[in-house]
Amino acid sequence: MKKSLLIASAILMGSATAFAGKDEAVYEPVNGIELENMWLHSRVNGAWASGNQNLPFINNYAKVRTATIWTDANGVDKLVCGYSKPVNYTKDDGSQEAIDTATILIYNLTDGTLEKEIQLSYNNEPIKGLLIANQIGTDDAGNLWFSGLESDPATMPIELYSINAETGECTLEAALLLNDDEATSTGRIDYCDILGDITGKTSHAIAMFAPKASDLSILRWKREQGATEWTGDFDGYANLALTETYPAGVASWGGVTTVSIMWDEDLTGENYYVDDFSTAPALYNTSGSMLESFATATEMAPAVGCNGVTEFELAGRNFISYVLQQYNASPGCCIRIAELGEGLVFEGMTGYWDLPKDGLGEVSDGGTRMHGIMTTAKRTDAAGLTAVYLVTYKCNNGIGVYRVKETGYDDGIGGVEGIIADQDANAPAVYYNFQGVQVQNPESGAYIVKRGNTVTKEFIVK
């Protein structure tokens, strides 16, 4: 007799397939706030399967480094990955050369379905360059944007593009270069953050960066609404050197330095986090002063060597989410959600959950990639209760979508679990191996199984 054990499930929509697993850990409610996993691909839960061509960010992990939450024109939330896709081009001498091209991958946020892959272009030509889509983001006007790795903004401009997600055609919004009197060399730029409208149409925009191996410098430019030019936003200069870090005594950024600008209603960007391989996240203002650090909450401090932090508000309370530890710890690649102390300070913060509880994985990503944490704006259900979506993504280890919500929140979206509940259990089963080849008479082992419009991964026991 043949028996099957369901080990992961997802839905088949057209030609786009998702093989989404779940985080089966139990996260108890805390102070009227709940945590719900929508779907999870990780090395720990077995859904991080190499060879699954429907998940390009797995197979090409070294080139797919960041992701963002974006809401399309129909109001549907998407997960978009930025992807420096290697493509072979013929050189003048006839030989082949692999060149990175800017590409995006668009997934349904709530169930992990891959919907489309789009190669990005500028003036109808593919956008090419070393790690050209190293970071992707969404600005406050809802525009998708991306930037590439830059070796030195003192000599080569940092290019920022906005993306037309329907056509893939992009607009060069900025080519940022330091003035001659600001720095001769600042080091490599990996990642950045944007506040406001990168196009300058609906508001001003602020762009911030922190270069590797600088003297704790941060870079900041501003584009006024309606303007085409960007100017340095520190009294006309773009470069400002910080003097404090946590832990104290760090003299220069060690690598993969991230800047996260704090949102405020006037989009001033007055406060921002800096997180580096050699430091833990610390909050600064535009005068360069350190406002907050884990010095007042050492028991909650993350390990250094892992980068990523964000804040969000829910039920009138303020939360912080930050990377707790890297892949070289166990459980690996976890993030922590905590409520800030009274007065929005680190002191007295309350830990809620570390997730995934079993980690994403413990496999090296080469040491050059950040741990991405993204949240959406609040979502409100018919009863007026609120929730935010949170994405955690670490190259070569895993990606998961969670929902942090007030107890009782219900908008009718149930993630993978809801999809499984709707599957047609009476449809005939068609079996495939993990190379996509149909198997007529499956023996004992793991298979991809299609029943009607539903796809599962199952283990057959005979």
- Report, in angstroms and rounded to the nearest whole number, the Rg of the chain calculated over CA atoms: 22
What was the pLDDT predicted at 157? 93
What was the pLDDT predicted at 432? 67
Residue 12: pLDDT over 50: no
What was the pLDDT predicted at 103? 94
Q: How confident is the model at residue 60 (pLDDT cuts 50, 70, 90)?
A: low
Residue 423: pLDDT over 60: no
Q: How confident is the model at residue 18 (pLDDT cuts 50, 70, 90)?
A: very low
Nearest to 260 by CA among 282, 287, 241: 282
Summarised one tens digit per residue, pLDDT across range 68-98 is: 999 998 889 999 999 898 888 888 888 888 8
Q: Specify the CATH number for 22-414; select among 3.40.50.300, 3.30.565.10, 2.120.10.30, 3.40.50.720.
A: 2.120.10.30
One DSSP character per residue, 198-236 reads TTSSSS-EEEEE--TTSSSEEEEEEE-TT-S--EETBTB
Beta carbons within 8 Å of 228's beta carbon, 6+ residues apart: 200
Q: What rounded mean pLDDT belongs to the chain?
A: 86
What was the pLDDT predicted at 180? 82
Nearest to 339 by CA among 326, 360, 322, 325: 322
For a pLDDT cut of 90, what percent of the chain falls above it?
58
What was the pLDDT predicted at 260? 96
What was the pLDDT predicted at 26? 94
What was the pLDDT predicted at 420? 46
What was the pLDDT predicted at 365? 81
Summarised one tens digit per residue, pLDDT across range 329-358 is: 999 999 999 999 988 899 999 999 999 999
Task: Report d(CA 419, CA 93) in Å as an integer.
Answer: 52
What was the pLDDT predicted at 377? 77
What was the pLDDT predicted at 10? 32
* Residue ranges per structural domain of the chain: 22-414
DSSP classification of residue 134 = S
Measured CA to CA in angstroms, residue 91 lies from 60, 87, 99, 327 at distances of 24, 12, 11, 39
Q: Lowest-pLDDT range, 36-45, 327-336, 383-392?
A: 36-45
Cβ neighbourhood burial of 7 (10 Å; 0-12, 13-18, 19+): middle
Summarised one tens digit per residue, pLDDT across range 219-278 is: 999 999 999 999 999 999 999 999 999 999 999 998 889 999 999 999 999 999 999 999
What was the pLDDT predicted at 242? 94
What was the pLDDT predicted at 172? 98
One DSSP character per residue, 64-130 reads EEEEEEEE-TTS-EEEEEEEEEEEEEE-TTS-EEEEEEEEEEEEETTT--EEEEEE-EETTEE-BST
What was the pLDDT predicted at 346? 95
One DSSP character per residue, 324-384 reads EE-TTSSS-SEEEEEEEETTTEEEEEEEEEEESTT-S-----TT---EEEEE---EE-TTS
What was the pLDDT predicted at 20? 59
